[in-house]
């Protein structure tokens, strides 16, 4: 099993360009697996972990409802935001400046073949990162992602997740609000959930801005530990 994971930090990048790049990496891994099976080969499959920040964009997953986007086309333009229907699970979410978006494109045959465990492990990476900032985060039963004060009237989501998997190869991932403009969430029903709020790390810490590179360093460390992986920067 290949537990090396190629880490790429794409900086600020258009959503559609990044989605196309994910598909390229995803298809490359799938093709290797198909050839291995057809030709009885044992070529190793690559794994990737992308960090990216997107311009304002709303994305709707396969199980989502279009009415959860509360803006029309003109209003989207006014807010300098774009909208895409995409091939991950889940409902609608927002990506934008001030978020750390992480896309693990992994062959789970290199780790463990269990999508439920995969999502819980990704959540654990975020939970452990928040713990380093003195924030106790948790899961919400039946709802993917990472939450604060989940069993209180003040429940709020700090990290959304949605993935796609085929032949145990993953794509898409998480959107972690670090210095996010939370006003953009007012234009959707986030993840189709009406009764819980959204928050950002800087808000929880009472800071104007959190050091994003410091957060990424912590995320990388916990990703390696939780997935028993080795990140290789390229």
Per-residue pLDDT band for 191 (boundaries 50, 70, 90) equals low
CB-CB contact of 146 with 162 (8 Å) = no
Binding site as annotated, residues for substrate: 88-95, 160-162, 173-175
Catalytic residue list contains 226: no
Q: For position 192, what pLDDT does the model report?
A: 54
Enclosing domain of residue 39: 4-233
SS (H, E, C) 20-43: HHHHHHHHHHHHHHHHHHHHCCCC
Q: For position 201, what pLDDT does the model report?
A: 98
User: Counting beta carbons within 10 angstroms of the beta carbon of residue 82, is it exposed (0 to 12), middle (13 to 18) or buried (19 or more)?
Assistant: middle
Q: How many structural domains compose the chain?
A: 1
Q: Which of 119, 146, 191, 219 is catalytic?
A: 191
pLDDT tens sequence across 166-185: 999 999 999 999 999 999 99
Per-residue pLDDT band for 64 (boundaries 50, 70, 90) equals confident
Token pair, residue 205, equals: 């810490």
Alpha helices in 13-169 (DSSP H): 15-39, 73-78, 115-131
CATH number at residue 155: 3.30.930.10
pLDDT tens sequence across 109-130: 999 999 999 999 999 999 999 9
pTM: 0.94
């Amino acid at each position: 099993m290949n537990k090396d994971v190629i880490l790429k930090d794409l900086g600020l990048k258009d959503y559609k360009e990044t989605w196309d790049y994910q598909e390229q990496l995803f298809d490359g891994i799938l093709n290797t697996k198909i050839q291995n099976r057809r030709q009885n080969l044992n070529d190793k499959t690559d794994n990737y972990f992308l960090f990216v920040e997107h311009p304002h964009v709303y994305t709707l997953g396969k199980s989502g409802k279009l009415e959860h986007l509360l803006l029309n086309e003109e209003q989207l333009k006014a807010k300098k935001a774009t909208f895409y229907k995409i091939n991950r699970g889940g409902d609608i979410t927002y990506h934008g400046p001030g978020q750390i978006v992480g896309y693990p494109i992994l062959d789970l045959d290199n780790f463990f073949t269990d999508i439920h465990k995969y999502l819980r492990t990704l959540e654990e990476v975020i939970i452990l990162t928040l713990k380093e900032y003195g924030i106790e985060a948790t899961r919400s039963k039946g709802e993917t992602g990472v939450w604060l004060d989940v069993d209180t009237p003040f429940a709020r989501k700090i990290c959304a997740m949605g993935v796609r998997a085929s032949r145990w190869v993953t794509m898409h991932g998480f959107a972690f609000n670090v210095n996010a403009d939370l006003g953009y969430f007012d234009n959707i029903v986030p993840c189709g959930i009406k009764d819980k709020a959204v928050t950002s790390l800087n808000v929880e810490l009472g800071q104007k801005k959190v050091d994003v590179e410091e957060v990424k360093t912590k995320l990388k460390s916990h990703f390696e530990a939780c997935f028993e992986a080795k990140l290789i920067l390229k």
